[in-house]
């Protein structure tokens, strides 16, 4: 009986709008983010992927203190040509980073809510950032939200800004400072909000204009490496739009005039 009451309490807490630590897309963010798993990849290839769910990077974790933001993005208005470009880009990245699934034996749970038994987990899902088409990879960094007004925004969504934990994808001093430094130069992702109540946590999907949007398909390396590419390596990503796909490579060497350059 005690476990049942605890479960009910957790469900009610997770359903509440705040205080919230589990943040999803917040208006003003530069991108909507998702990780393409094997099931979504198959659906994309079959032309059946009509929406995606916002993925929180693993380092953010989940806490029992509510959700906030927009969870889903509608992809139903992507043209066949756009989807074809997206499939080609994902296939190119997967040539170097094929799907990997491992089995994790959790054993018996020690605490309520802990995983148990054998879990099959995909460990290298590709990272996809949905940006405005105007997002300039030569000037701005992958993984930074560049949202200068998130405090006012969450307050307008009915949340307590003092209790809200904004989830930085690159939570390093360098990443946060860079986001503040260039925040005013990056336009928020243009989305159409659902007609439902825009307060707290919203499951109804956002919509985008494909003609004004770019899907940035990136390898399953650390977010810090995408944001601040190592000088000794060379990473490659694809920017996908209605017009096609463009391959970008991180700049190596001691002098960097740009962060990413379009490959020939």
For 203-250, the pLDDT digits (tens) are 999 999 999 999 999 999 999 999 999 877 789 999 999 999 999 999
C-alpha distances in angstroms, 140 versus 131, 146, 171, 177?
12, 9, 16, 13
Q: Which of the four pLDDT bands, split at 50, 70 and 90, describes residue 31?
A: very high
Residue 7: predicted pLDDT: 38
Q: What is the average pLDDT across 126-132?
A: 98
In this predicted structure, the answer to whether residue 4 has a pLDDT above a threshold of 60 is no
Residue 13: predicted pLDDT: 39
Q: What is the average pLDDT across 171-187?
A: 93
Task: Tell me the C-alpha distance between 157 and 24, whole Å.
Answer: 13
Q: Are strands 22-23 and 67-70 parallel, antiparallel or unpaired?
A: parallel
> Shortest CA distance to 200 belongs to which of 64, 66, 34, 56?
66
Q: Which of the four pLDDT bands, split at 50, 70 and 90, describes residue 9?
A: very low
The total number of residues written for the chain in this structure: 264
Helices (H), 61-165: 80-96, 150-156
Residue 253: predicted pLDDT: 61
Residue 155: predicted pLDDT: 84
- The structure tokens listed for 87 are 């499939």
- The structure tokens listed for 137 are 């990879």
In this predicted structure, the answer to whether residue 10 has a pLDDT above a threshold of 90 is no
Residue 63: predicted pLDDT: 58
Residue pLDDT, tens place only, 131-164: 999 999 999 999 999 999 988 888 888 887 777 7
Instruction: Output the average pLDDT for the chain.
Output: 84
Task: Tell me the C-alpha distance between 73 and 128, whole Å.
Answer: 12
C-alpha distances in angstroms, 81 versus 88, 127, 128, 264?
11, 21, 18, 22
Residue 120: predicted pLDDT: 73
Q: Where does residue 221 rank: exposed (0-12), middle (13-18), buried (19+ CB within 10 A)?
A: middle
Residue 174: predicted pLDDT: 93
Residue 154: predicted pLDDT: 85
Residue 3: predicted pLDDT: 39
- The structure tokens listed for 192 are 């159409």
CA trace torsion 256, 219, 230, 171 (10° rounding): 100
Task: Tell me the C-alpha distance between 109 and 126, whole Å.
Answer: 30
- The structure tokens listed for 240 are 């996908």
């Amino acid at each position: 009986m005690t476990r049942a009451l605890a479960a009910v309490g957790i469900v009610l807490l997770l359903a509440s709008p705040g205080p919230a630590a589990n943040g999803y897309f917040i208006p003003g963010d530069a991108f909507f983010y998702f990780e393409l798993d094997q099931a979504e990849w198959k659906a994309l290839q079959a032309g059946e992927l009509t929406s995606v769910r916002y993925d929180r990077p693993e380092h953010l974790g989940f806490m029992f203190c509510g959700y906030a933001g927009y969870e889903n993005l509608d992809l139903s208005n992507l043209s066949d040509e756009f989807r074809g470009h997206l499939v080609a880009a994902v296939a190119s990245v997967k040539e170097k980073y094929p799907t990997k699934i491992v089995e994790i034996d959790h054993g018996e749970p020690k605490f309520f809510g802990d995983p148990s038994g054998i879990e099959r987990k995909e460990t290298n899902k590709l990272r996809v950032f949905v940006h405005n088409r105007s997002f300039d990879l030569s000037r701005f960094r992958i993984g930074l939200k560049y949202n200068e007004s998130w405090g006012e925004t969450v307050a307008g969504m009915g949340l307590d800004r003092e209790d809200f934990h904004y989830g930085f994808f690159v939570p390093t001093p360098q990443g946060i400072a860079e986001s503040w430094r260039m925040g005013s130069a990056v336009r928020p992702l243009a989305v159409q909000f659902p007609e439902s109540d825009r307060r707290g946590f919203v499951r109804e999907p956002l919509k985008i204009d494909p003609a004004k949007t770019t899907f940035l398909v990136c390898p399953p390396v650390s977010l810090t490496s995408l944001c601040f590419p190592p000088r000794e390596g060379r990473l490659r990503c694809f920017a996908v739009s209605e017009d096609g796909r463009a391959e970008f490579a991180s700049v190596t060497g001691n002098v960097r005039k740009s962060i990413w350059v379009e490959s020939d």
